[in-house]
Copies of this chain bind each other. A is one copy, B any other.
Amino acid sequence: MPQQNVQTKVLRTICPDAKGLIAKITNICYKHELNIVQNNEFVDHRTGRFFMRTELEGIFNDNTLLADLDSALPKGSVRELQSTGRRRIVVLVTKEAHCLGDLLMKSAYGGLDVEIAAVIGNHDTLQTLVERFDIPFHLVSHDGLTREQHDSAMIEQIDQYQPDYVVLAKYMRVLTPGFVQHYPHQVINIHHSFLPAFIGARPYHQAYERGVKIIGATAHYVNDSLDEGPIIMQDVINVDHTYTAEDMMRAGRDVEKNVLSRALYRVLTQRVFVYGNRTVIL
């Protein structure tokens, strides 16, 4: 009986805080004879919200487990139970290779437990690189299309791969609200600045003009407002007066790819909870 195999799954709970929540949830896991491999929780006392990530091992009966949880948790609770393991992504690109290259390397040689189902570009610059790794590349040019038409064409290509997440690896186009809503909490972007500084175009040139001594990058979920979604991860490096905007750009590429890949690692291991415009990472 295959359902009797020992499996590992992650239970994620978001609900209004209340006395006894951890006891209730862990009691149910105990009753189901599931072993808690790892458990993390957080209470946001400002909003009275409870977050819990429970990594469980055992023989699962998903339906009765979730039913038991539903009857124990307060109204307004959200809980998900998902198997661990390899996730599937589609990567969107324009012309820059560094973030894509890092994802291709880590998918093929370790570092991210992810299958890159396809790469889609609005230019064909990176086609050769993608095909070197035996992954399908699709060109969806925006030439002559409205933004809405182009995003629809992108969605069509993406959806044939049924990805868990859509990763913008230096995809230099603003997405329409329709696109964003089509993939709720599934679109992850790398922004080449330390948000919220230097929102908008050419952040390295802005950074140079302002004479900052540190530059950075930000991985975030995409929501309707450009450059404004919940931040997952940020990192920085020092620069000095000898850096031109081009030097900042070159040095920043390593930060961008590292931040994107580290953010994705946490998303893929189901550690990132979104609540309002913030993330809780357990």
* Interface SS majority for chain A: mixed
CA distance A194 to B22 in the complex (A): 38
Interface size of A in residues (CB-CB distance below 8 Å): 69
What are 11 A-to-B residue pairs whose CB atoms are below 8 Å? A19-B33, A26-B26, A27-B27, A42-B242, A46-B244, A98-B105, A108-B129, A111-B250, A196-B198, A211-B278, A254-B261
Q: Does A161 contact B (CB under 8 A)?
A: no
In A194-208, which residues have CB < 8 Å from any B CB?
194-198
Given A20-B30, A109-B101, A212-B236 contact (CB < 8 Å): no
**Binary interface profile of A, 78-111, with partner B (CB < 8 Å = 1, else 0)?**
0000000000000000000110011001001111
Residues of chain A at the chain B interface (Cβ within 8 Å): 19-23, 26-27, 29-30, 33, 35-46, 97-98, 101-102, 105, 108-111, 129, 132-133, 194-198, 209-214, 216, 230-236, 238, 240-242, 244, 250, 253-254, 258, 261-262, 277-281
